[in-house]
C-alpha cells in the first residue's frame, strides 16, 4: 500500500518538475519578434519562451540576465564581473513597470526610479556613493514636475565609473 502511494506521488511530481522548471539559455539563442509599437517578444523553437536568457558584454564586463515569461521580459538583472549587482529593472509584458534600480560598485544604490506602463511615475531618488542623497524628483505620466539636486559631500565622487542611467 505504501509503495503504491509513493509511486503515485512520484508520478504526480514528474510533470510538475519537468514543466515547472524554467530554461536558461543565451539571449542569442532566442528569436526576437519585433513589431512596431509593441515590446519585443522572444521565441525558441517557434513557441514563446519562458525562462532565463543571459547575455555577456565583455567590453563592459557585465552579464545581463533576462527573465522572460510567455515571450515578454519581466525582469532584467545585470552583474559586473566582480560579482556586484549593477542594475535591476522590472517589467510587465516587456514594458518597464515597477522599480528600476542602479548600483555603485560598492553596492550602494545609485538611483531608484518607479515606472508605470513604461513611463516614470512618482518620486525618484538618486544617491552618491556614500549613500547621501544626490537628487529627488517627481514624475507624472513620464513628465518631470519637480527636481531637487544636492552637491556631493567632500571627497565623494558624483557619478559611478561605468553605470549609465536608463
With a cut of 50, list the residues of the chain below it in pLDDT: 5-21, 164, 166
pLDDT score for 152: 86
Stretch (H or E) spanning 120: strand 119-120
Model-level pTM?
Answer: 0.77
Per-residue CA distances from 33 to 42, 56, 70 (Å):
6, 21, 12
- Phi, psi for residue 31 in degrees, rounded to 5: -95, 125
Q: Using CA atoms, how far apart are residues 107 and 131, in angstroms rounded to an integer?
A: 10
pLDDT score for 157: 64
Q: Is 116 helix (H, G, I), strand (E, B) or coil?
A: strand
Q: Which three cell numbers stand for residue 66?
A: 533576462
pLDDT score for 2: 56
pLDDT score for 153: 86
Strand 31-33 to 62-69 pairing: unpaired
Handedness of CA 45, 51, 55, 56 (dihedral sign): negative
16-26 per-position pLDDT tens digit: 444 444 568 99
pLDDT score for 19: 43
108-131 per-position pLDDT tens digit: 999 999 999 999 999 999 999 999
Other C-beta atoms closer than 10 Å to the C-beta of 73 total 22
Among residues 127, 143, 144, 145, the alpha carbon closest in space to that of 135 is found at: 127
- Per DSSP, 107 falls in state S
Among residues 66, 82, 59, the alpha carbon closest in space to that of 25 is found at: 66
pLDDT score for 139: 98
Which domains occur in the chain, in start order? 22-149 (2.20.110)
Amino acid at each position: 500500500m505504501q509503495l503504491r502511494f509513493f509511486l503515485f506521488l512520484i508520478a504526480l511530481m514528474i510533470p510538475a518538475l519537468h514543466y515547472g522548471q524554467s530554461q536558461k539559455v543565451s539571449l542569442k539563442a532566442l528569436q526576437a519578434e519585433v513589431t512596431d509599437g509593441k515590446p519585443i517578444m522572444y521565441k525558441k523553437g517557434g513557441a514563446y519562451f519562458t525562462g532565463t536568457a543571459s547575455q555577456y558584454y565583455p567590453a563592459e564586463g557585465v552579464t545581463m540576465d533576462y527573465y522572460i515569461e510567455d515571450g515578454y521580459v519581466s525582469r532584467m538583472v545585470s552583474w559586473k564581473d566582480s560579482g556586484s549587482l549593477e542594475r535591476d529593472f522590472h517589467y510587465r509584458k516587456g514594458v518597464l513597470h515597477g522599480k528600476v534600480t542602479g548600483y555603485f560598485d560598492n553596492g550602494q544604490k545609485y538611483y531608484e526610479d518607479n515606472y508605470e506602463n513604461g513611463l516614470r511615475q512618482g518620486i525618484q531618488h538618486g544617491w552618491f556613493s556614500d549613500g547621501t542623497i544626490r537628487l529627488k524628483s517627481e514624475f507624472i505620466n513620464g513628465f518631470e514636475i519637480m527636481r531637487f539636486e544636492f552637491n556631493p559631500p567632500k571627497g565623494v565622487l558624483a557619478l559611478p565609473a561605468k553605470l549609465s542611467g536608463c
